[in-house]
Each structure stands twice: as structure tokens, then as C-alpha cells.
Amino acid sequence: MMPTRLANVEDSEVLAQMLHDFNEEFGDPSPGVEVLASRVRRFIDRSTKIYLLAREDGAASAGGFAQISFTPSIWSEGPIAMIDELYVRPALRRRGLGQELMDSILALAREQGANGVEVVTGEDDLGARALYEKTGFRNEIEGEKNSRSLFYEREL
């Protein structure tokens, strides 16, 4: 398996297509590949977000990707890394690409001096949850015992 690598602006279209496919797969709305590509390009260009590309051995195109944001934290000197998106092409799942991406995310976060990494997932996404738990992530509020940490959102 080829190692994951940092994406650059030339990867914007490939990333946009995977972001779009991701939402199609889960029935979520997508603004379309063109709009996504222009946002990805801007985010990479301005270092707003960092994208990691996973590759399968010998494959020309990426087999998956992760989108990561770094946010300053009031509780630590370093920032917190947030895994915004993590995707592996359906045909390439269960081959370790997700774990490769997670390992690269942790390495990147350490390199950037981050004090922690965060990710949100659905209760019924057992594959993602197993991957995160295997990678040392916990679904618990710090300082409380046995209380799960829940993510709430509302649109505006």
C-alpha cells in the first residue's frame, strides 16, 4: 500500500468528487462537484483545511481522503485537530486504508503541535466507530464517569 500524502491544489477535483460521492452514498445533500472543487481549492490554497489522500498500491487515483481543521483551544497551548471528513471508496473498504488515514492524521496533528483530535460519527456507523476506538478515541466526556459525549446541531 502506498503511504497517504498531503493533497495540493491540483487534487481539488479528485477531492471534490469523493466529497460528493460521500454525501450521495449517505443521502445527504451536496452542492455539486464544481462548487466543492472551488471550495477545496480555496481551503488548500489558504491552509484553512488540510487534506490527506490515501492510495492503493499501484492505483493512479486516490482511494480515500481525510479533511482536517485545526482550531485554537482555551484549554491547551496547542490547537485541537478536527477530522471533518473521512472517506474510503466503497470498493476499497476493509483493506486498511481507513487505518492508514487515521495514522497519518495522528502524525500530522502531532507535527502541528495539537493537544487532541476530535471526530463526530453516527451511532449506527459501526465501521467508523470501530476504527476510531481502535485508534484510541473515546466517546466520553472528560471528567465525568460513563457519560457519553453527544454532538448537537441546528441549521440557521
Residues contributing to the site for its own copies (CB under 8 A): 19, 23, 26-31, 36, 39-40, 43, 48-49, 67, 69, 71-72, 74-76, 82, 84-85, 106, 109-110, 114-125, 129, 132-133, 135-139, 141-144, 147-156
Query: Exposed/middle/buried for 47, CB within 10 Å: 0-12, 13-18, 19+?
Result: exposed
For residues 2 and 14, which CB has a smaller minimum distance to its own copies in the complex? 14
Q: Which is nearest to 114 in space by CA: 75, 84, 74, 70?
A: 70
Q: What distance lies between CA 9 and its chain's CA centroid? A: 17
Shortest separation between residue 48's beta carbon and its own copies, angstroms: 5
> Residue 140 in contact with residue 147, Cβ under 8 Å?
yes
For residues 2 and 121, which CB has a smaller minimum distance to its own copies in the complex? 121
For residues 54 and 109, which CB has a smaller minimum distance to its own copies in the complex? 109
In single-letter form, the type of residue at position 81 comes to A
Q: Which is nearest to 63 in space by CA: 108, 4, 127, 132?
A: 4
Shortest separation between residue 107's beta carbon and its own copies, angstroms: 10
For residues 37 and 97, which CB has a smaller minimum distance to its own copies in the complex? 37
Shortest separation between residue 110's beta carbon and its own copies, angstroms: 6
